[in-house]
Structure 1
Amino acid sequence: VFLVLAGIFLKQLESGGSARDIPSALIGKPVPEFALAPLDGLLDNGGAQVPGIDTASFKGKVTVVNVWASWCAPCRLEHPLILALRENRDVRIVGINYKDQTANALRFLGQLGNPFDAVGVDPRGSAAIDWGVYGVPETFIVDRNGLIAYKHVGPLTPENLGAKFLPELKKVLGNGQ
């Protein structure tokens, strides 16, 4: 088994590919069963607590799920792009705050802006494991039926946003999925 896996790894290296190019086994599958508490103290513009997230919250609207942490430098770099995605009101944007401290997460969103309609706190990373997350940031597109349609590993950049992510998002929005 080790030799087979080593061979696949070497072939991937020789082809110039990376782990980011390996498709997720979760594509086309329902979002995992989970429930995450809200980021305590994160308030919306009206002063109400921003809700947490759970499996049922993915039905009915196309959702972008961003797995992030305040200690993650690439998360800070991609954050303006996540904020820009919020301009599309046909899309719900939720965050999974990964292995973070509440005060640090609140400070991060206070400084950079809050793009999220909901934020679930994953202090031990157990929900992230169920989502197949290798590290932060990772961003998913979930269709209206609660099926994972796309997974992006690593930070969103202007290049990969335009070349990969937005076309996938438009495809899901256009399919009525």
Structure 2
Amino acid sequence: MTRPCASATVRSVTSPASRRRAATPARAASEVSEVVELLEVLWGRGRDAASPAPVSSAQLRVLYIIERDEGINLRGLGALMGAAPSSVSRLCDRLQAVGFVERGTSRASRRELELRLTPGGRRFLAELRARREEALTAAIAAMSPAARGALVEGLAGFRKALKPPALERNRS
């Protein structure tokens, strides 16, 4: 069955046969990939609408990391992103230019810079999350209570599997 969802089509996996197929890791990965692609489109619209200065997906990753690790330096940010220091520095330059990130001298070493979100950066992330949650709420409201319960249970297991140690193991 298909149904429109914010100008995208979401295929619903509801039959017992479909659920059994989705139970294999390869089939589940295929279903997750399809949903991720739909979410990327949805997220892109939300990201562009949340600010007069839209940010790229790489810049958004920088904002999330800085929010989580307030005061991180460029070297640490580059390591988490798997990116070269020069690339990370340019991303931060752009985010600083739009007023989302500020650089300051590290308390630990005067030779290093710390990265912090500005109030504008925090506001951007809050607005972005609110838009995304609104879109997700509308889509999830169209699901049956049983499907919502299965979604919550499945996502909890998926999140647990994606904890940083699992990500680090799979990176190499």
Higher strand share: 1
TM over 0.5: no
Q: TM-score, normalised by structure 1?
A: 0.32
Q: TM-score, normalised by structure 2?
A: 0.32
Larger radius of gyration: 2
Higher helix share: 2
Kindly indicate whether structure 1 or structure 2 has the higher relative contact order, using CA contacts under 8 Å at least 6 residues apart: 1
